[in-house]
Structure 1
C-alpha cells in the first residue's frame, strides 16, 4: 500500500479493513516445547496490532438451534471452565462401551455418500490414537486394501555418518505433518491432503478427497470438500516431503503420496469444522477445558449428534480433565 500512499507504510494492514474471527474459548496456539508464557504471548490478543482492533461480539450460537438453549449454555460453561473439576456430560449424548461400537455408531455400514461421510468424524486428543482409529475404520470399510510404501532417505551431507540412521529406522518415524511409511487405502475411503499441490485447482493442505482408483505411480481422487472445486477429479503423484515440525536432530526426506486417512482427526485439527455427527474417543483424559469445548461444539445438531466412548474408563462417573483441577 505504500506504493499508493507513502503514509500507509507503517499503518497496520496498510489501512485495509481486516476481519479476524475466532472464539477465545478454543485452544491456544501450539508452541512445541514452549512455556506457558510463550504460548500465551503467541495468542492474538498479545499481538502488537491488538490495540488497533475493535471488538464485536457475536452472542448467538449458529451451530445450534434456538430450541437447544440449554445445550448452548452448557457449552459456554465448559468453555469458561466453571463446571467444576469433573464435567458430567448431558444424558442426550450417546455412550458406547468400545471403539468398534463407536465406529459403528458414527459411520454405520458406510452406505452414505462421500459428502455425508465428510460431515462425520471421530475426534481424539493424540495423533497416535488418530492413526489407531483410522486403521480400525479402514479394516471394516468395504473393499480391498492397497498398500503404498515410501522411500525414506537422509539427504547427502545432512549428517556426518548416515549409517547411524538406517532406512528401517526412518520408516518408523511418524510425524503428524507427513504421510505414513505404509499408506493403506481402499477405493471409496476418505483422505486428507497434507500439502499444497495446486491451490488454483483446489488441491490445498487440508482438502478432503475420495479415493477413486489406484495406478502404480498415481492415485485418482475426487475433491469432496464443499466449495467451488467439489467434484473435481485429480491424479495425485508421489512427492518428496520433509517434516516441518519434527523434533529429530536431523532432516530426512520421505517420497510418498501426501495423503492420510481422514476418518478420524485430532481435536486441535477439528477447530473451525462444522459437522453433523461427532464421535468422541477419549482413551486418555483431555488436557484442558478448551479441548472438551472444541470437541463438543463441532456438531450443529447438538448433543444428539455426539457419540462418546472412553474405553470403559469413566462411563459411569464424572468426566475428569487430566490435571485441570
Structure 2
C-alpha cells in the first residue's frame, strides 16, 4: 500500500528497501540461524533518538508545530502514532490533549451488568459499579472520556453509513455538549461534513471477560495515538512511526 503511494523514484526505492527489510524480519532471515529469538539491529533512519521523556520525544517528532497546526484537519489526518497496547495509547493521548489550550470537558459513563432473573443479585454483589468502571476493553471507550474542541477522535461503532459514520471513521471535535458531541469528519468521501454523535449503550465483547456488561458512553476514542489494529489502510496518509514495546522475533 505504501509503495503504491510513492511520489518519486527515490521514495519508491527507499520504501522498497524498507519492505524487503521488514519482510526479512518476519521471515526470520535477519540475525542468522536462530531458535525463534534473535537480536536485530534497527536502522538509524527509523529510530527516534532521545534523552528524557520518550513520549515527549515521539510527539515532538510526529506532531511538530502542533501549537500552530492543531486546528488544521489535514495536519491531524496526515499523522498518527501507532502502538501495540492500550496503556501506551492512553499515555500518549493524555499528553497530547494536555497540549491543547482549549477548555476541556470530562464525560463519565454509566455501567451495568447484563443479568437475568436468576443471576441479578449475584452479579450485582460481585461486579460493583466501581469495578465495572475500572475495566478497559479494546474497541470500547473508557469510563472517563476527556475531550477538548479540536481533539481528533475515532468512531468505535457504525452509526450512519450514508453519512460516513462507520467504525474507524476519524473526526475532529468542534463542540462539546452534555448529551451530544458535534464533530467534523476528516476521512472518506464525507470529509468536511459536520455530524452529531450521541451517547450509546455499548456491550464490550472482550473474550477475556467471563460476563457481559453494558456501558453507556460516546462511542469515540481520542486518536492522536491508536492501536496498530485500528489503523485502516489509507486512513492515515503518512503514519511514520510505531512505538514498539520490548518483544522478541
With the shorter chain as reference, the TM-score category is 0.7 to 0.9
Kept in 1: contact 2:205–2:212 (CA 8 A): no
| Match of residue 216 from structure 1 | 178
Query: What is the root-mean-square deviation of aligned Cα atoms in Å?
Result: 2.0
Looking at structure 2, the residues matched to 107 and 174 of structure 1 have their Cα atoms a distance apart, in angstroms, of 26
Q: Aligned residues, how many?
A: 228
Task: Using the TM superposition, give the Cα deviation of residue 202 of structure 1 relative to its aligned residue in structure 2, in angstroms.
Answer: 0.8
| Match of residue 83 from structure 1 | 30
TM-score (norm 1): 0.65
| Match of residue 57 from structure 1 | none
Looking at structure 2, the residues matched to 74 and 214 of structure 1 have their Cα atoms a distance apart, in angstroms, of 42
Task: Using the TM superposition, give the Cα deviation of residue 71 of structure 1 relative to its aligned residue in structure 2, in angstroms.
Answer: 4.2
Kept in 1: contact 2:156–2:220 (CA 8 A): yes
| Match of residue 187 from structure 1 | 149
| Match of residue 209 from structure 2 | 248
Other structure's SS at 1:92 match = helix
Looking at structure 2, the residues matched to 211 and 243 of structure 1 have their Cα atoms a distance apart, in angstroms, of 24
| Match of residue 176 from structure 1 | 138
Q: Do structure 1's residue 93 and structure 2's residue 54 form an aligned pair?
A: no
Cα separation, partners in 2 of 1:147 and 1:243, compared to 1, 3 Å:
same
Q: Do structure 1's residue 114 and structure 2's residue 73 form an aligned pair?
A: yes
Cα distance per residue 1:259-294 (max 9 Å; x no partner): 100001122222524532523323x22xxxxxxxxx
Looking at structure 1, the residues matched to 142 and 196 of structure 2 have their Cα atoms a distance apart, in angstroms, of 20
Q: Do structure 1's residue 143 and structure 2's residue 96 form an aligned pair?
A: no
For structure 2, the residue ranges without an aligned partner over 5 or more in a row are: 32-37
Find the structure with the greater CA-based Rg.
Answer: 1
For structure 1, the residue ranges without an aligned partner over 5 or more in a row are: 1-22, 24-59, 286-321
Cα separation, partners in 2 of 1:265 and 1:255, compared to 1, 3 Å:
same
Kept in 2: contact 1:175–1:246 (CA 8 A): no
Residue in structure 1 matching 2:228, options 260, 267, 270: 267
1:15-164 equivalent positions in 2, closer than 5 A: 61-64=3-6, 65-68=8-11, 69-81=13-25, 82-84=29-31, 85-93=38-46, 95-97=48-50, 98-108=54-64, 109-112=66-69, 113-157=72-116, 159-160=119-120, 161=122, 162-164=124-126
Moved over 4 A (4+): none
Task: Using the TM superposition, give the Cα deviation of residue 248 of structure 1 relative to its aligned residue in structure 2, in angstroms.
Answer: 1.0
